[in-house]
Structure 1
Amino acid sequence: MIRVETEGDVGTITLARPRTRNALTPEMLDEMRGGIGELGARVGAVVLAGEGSAFCAGFDLSLCEGSPDGSAMRDLLRGLDAVVRAMRACPVPVVVAAHKAAIAGACALVAAADFAVADRGARFGYPVVLLGISPAVSVPTLGPAVGPGAARRLTLDPGLIGGEEALGLGLVSDLVEEAADVGPAALALAGALARKPRVGVAATKSWLNEIDGAAEAGDAGLDCSLGLTGGDEERELLRRFWEGRAGG
């Protein structure tokens, strides 16, 4: 469900479930975590990309339909947390190529990246709050990326923002006009980053991670999201969601 490729000093991890807009499963998240660790030890930069019409639509919520006890959602949240930690621990820069959409869990990946490239028409946000799912797991990296005020808005308001606003907030670092240009731009950026002195880059990234406090807050964010999983509100809202899909 993912592809791991290397070209020169750049490694690319591609989410490869285009029919689901690359909706994340626990297996994909585990493969991503392993791929980031493996590539980080031997290349100068890592790109996360998505195959097909969009970067990623977030969690594959179909896995939760037959899991009323919340175990499937807990697996997804823990898997996402592990990937975010791997992105931060990776000694080389991680670039996300976020074309068209990076929703919920995918927005968390963008927030955790060192750099993110998007198109002007891309959409970002956490509409999962409408389903009783807390995006608190993303806040430890989202907050330092966009600031506390914008982090509150993005995680408490289910609305989506566009590429230009994401650039202004600091959620993405580079903006291109067309979705088709996102991948090439991300690879070009990663190639330039890979040519930087690796020891110095790794030390600087480690220090930036130290001062933003995300590692210390990570456990609390994950616990908050996990604490709602399987609760009455989430179960009821997910039930209505699936009923609406079946009726639609």
Structure 2
Amino acid sequence: MASPEQDLAPALDKDGVRLTVDDALATVTLTNPAKRNAQSPALWRALAEAGRSLPGSVRVVVLRGEGKSFSAGLDRQMFTPEGIPGEPTFIDLARRDDAGIDATIAEYQEAFTWWRRTDIVSIAAVQGHAIGAGFQLALGCDLRVVADDVQFAMRETSLGLVPDLTGTHPLVGLVGYARALEICVTGRFVGAEEAVSSGLASLAVPAGELDGAVRDLAAAVMAAPRDAVVETKALLRGALDRTYEEQRAAERAAQARRLRDLAGLGE
């Protein structure tokens, strides 16, 4: 795929992650296609840093991967006894107490959480393999547009582990408990057609049209007034945690803020 941000100076470019900003649009690119954008703790720290580095002007963040695969999951070196130099191995983690394991995984999860902030809309452009941590990274975004060759899979359970990089909550929300369970415990592939029909993806397009389709979606999001988008996202994100009456009240409060703002009476 051609790089839509190739003419922009990167605001961050390290450990397999590049962040570029073009006014209201930011693009985060996974930049290690030779390893199918395999993930490591260093990459997760860089992704978290990208989130902290976003200027206030950014309204939409596009997440993409260079090469044929979005991300094939964890760097296989993490599964070896030696692990990745300078990083804790799985055995090291297992030897820590509960608080130590919890703190380490919580740090890893930071790379997967900021995409759902209410002040931005995040869009994952997913082609080829999105496996394990790659699947969960795509699930971290608000929206997913996929190429017709996409192959999602959650392989953690097959390895004796669980998906722990924040993917379980959005997966259940998108496809329901039963299908989410079946996808996770079987580790099977989910292709483009099923991704769209099940709600995992908004749109599937030929691989060569993926960048263009994502740019069109980003432009459509940015066409609406920013504050209205922020309020709407917050309403929808909180809807499942509220009762029907609580959601009605939240809608009224949000609309009051919008009306006052449009009338020039906001705080």
Bin the TM-score by the shorter chain.
0.7 to 0.9
C-alpha displacement at 1:41, in angstroms? 2.6
- TM-aligned CA distance change 1:155 to 1:31, over 3 Å: same
For residues 74-153 of structure 1, what are the structure 2 equivalents within 5 Å? 77-136=105-164, 137-153=166-182
1:163 aligned residue (186, 189, 192): 192
RMSD: 2.1
Instruction: Supply the distance in 1 between the matched residues of 2:183 and 2:92 (Cα, whole angstroms).
Output: 24
Tell me the SS of whatever aligns to 2:54: helix
C-alpha displacement at 1:90, in angstroms? 4.8
Does the CA-based 8 Å contact 1:92-1:198 persist in structure 2? no
- State percent identity of aligned pairs: 27
Deviations 1:43-67 (A, max 9, x none): 1200000011111111113123122
Give structure 1 regions of 4+ aligned residues with deviation exceeding 3 angstroms.
Answer: 74-80
Q: Read off the aligned partner of 2:171 and give its amino acid letter.
A: L
C-alpha displacement at 1:180, in angstroms? 2.5
Does the CA-based 8 Å contact 2:127-2:148 persist in structure 1? no
C-alpha displacement at 1:82, in angstroms? 1.4
- The structure whose RCO (Cα within 8 Å, separation 6+) is larger is 1
Equivalent pairs counted in the alignment come to 211
In structure 1, stretches of 5+ residues that fail to align are 214-248
Instruction: Supply the distance in 1 between the matched residues of 2:184 and 2:106 (Cα, whole angstroms).
Output: 18
Does the CA-based 8 Å contact 1:58-1:105 persist in structure 2? yes
Does the CA-based 8 Å contact 1:2-1:31 persist in structure 2? yes
Please give the TM-score of this superposition, normalised by the length of structure 1.
Answer: 0.78
Does the CA-based 8 Å contact 2:158-2:185 persist in structure 1? no
Instruction: Supply the distance in 2 between the matched residues of 1:115 and 1:27 (Cα, whole angstroms).
Output: 25
More helix by share: 1
Tell me the SS of whatever aligns to 1:69: helix
Please give the TM-score of this superposition, normalised by the length of structure 2.
Answer: 0.72
Q: Read off the aligned partner of 2:129 and give its amino acid letter.
A: A
C-alpha displacement at 1:17, in angstroms? 1.0
Does the CA-based 8 Å contact 1:36-1:46 persist in structure 2? no
Structure number, greater radius of gyration:
2
In structure 2, stretches of 5+ residues that fail to align are 1-15, 83-88, 95-100, 242-267
C-alpha displacement at 1:181, in angstroms? 1.8
